[in-house]
Amino acid sequence: MGARTSSKRMPGRPARGGDTAGRERLLDVAVSLFAERGIANTTLAQIARAGQVTSAMVHYWFDTRDKLLDAVVAERLAPVIRGMWEPVGAAHESALDIVRGLLTRMVDVTERLPWLPPLWLREIVQEGGQLRERVVGQIPRERTAAFRRSVAQAQARGEIRADISPDLLFISILALVMLPRATSRIWRRVNPDVTEIDRAQLERHVTGLMMHGLAGPKAARPSRRKA
């Protein structure tokens, strides 16, 4: 009988999976640096320094740069996308209430995750963004199709204006929420008297623009409950 072999790890390294908090911290550091500098301008060594670990530990947890990007999408961006879209089509809501729910959830998540808007613009919206293809695969097409159908049906009933494009509506919602968050620093440099955007201000602004701009002649008063 051959000798039993055992898997050995290097001294000082935790067993893989043993330091979950350390791995989570590195993911948080990575998304913040990617949002601030862009993925192409961020090295694994910089992530290690900001996370107060060695470069070897970054390689230990994620093996390669590509696997780190996979983890960012799977563990930081995919849950956001699911949370945004899962309620759509799951309940018998009016199209205006669906839009209000999307707006509210997007304002909530950009308040909770300030790195999200700049990262989205840099690495997903921008041509050549390194997360674009990974993120596109996470978007639930059946939910986006249900959203567009709901808007088109509401238009046929006169609840939403006929000149609104169902295909462009969600892109407009993204722009109304993401752009002010991502560009607020630049805007305040140009206009020093402009105050920092707070959650209530942003929600009032985008809800006012979107909901009043959408409502058709037969629109029912939309529900004000939180989606």
pLDDT tens for each residue of 50-77: 999 999 999 999 999 999 999 999 999 9
Residue 10 is assigned to a structural domain of this protein: no
* Structural domain includes residue 189: yes
1 pLDDT above the threshold of 80:
no
Task: Report if residue 206 sits inside a domain.
Answer: yes
Kindly tell me if the per-residue pLDDT of 220 is higher than 90: no
Q: How far apart are CA 39 and CA 227, in angstroms?
A: 33
Question: Which residue, 19, 28, 26, is CA-closest to 53?
Answer: 26
Query: What is the count of structural domains for the chain?
Result: 1
Question: For 131-177, what is each residue's pLDDT tens digit?
Answer: 999 999 999 999 999 999 999 999 999 999 999 999 999 999 999 99
Q: Does a structural domain hold residue 197?
A: yes
What separation in angstroms does the CA of 169 have from each of 11, 95, 213?
55, 11, 11
167: left (phi over 0), alpha (psi -120 to 50) or beta: alpha
- List the domain range (segments joined by +) for residue 181: 73-214
Mean pLDDT score of the chain? 85
Q: Is 183 contained in some domain?
A: yes
The reply to whether 109 falls in a domain is yes
17: in domain: no
Residue 169 lies in a domain: yes
Average pLDDT rounded to a whole number, residues 113-139:
94
What CATH number does residue 87 fall under? 1.10.357.10
Q: Which two tokens stand for residue 25?
A: 């911290």
Helices 55-62 + 20-37 axis angle, to 10: 100
> What pLDDT digit, counting tens, does each position of 88-102 carry?
876 678 999 999 999
Contacts of 47 (CB under 8 A, 6+ apart): 26, 29, 30, 33, 58, 68
Q: Can you tell me whether residue 117 is helix, strand or coil?
A: helix
Contact 68, 57 (CB under 8 A): no
Rg of the chain, C-alpha, whole Å: 22
- Please give the structure tokens belonging to residue 129: 């963004």
pTM for the whole thing? 0.81
Q: Residue 227 pLDDT > 50, yes or no? A: no
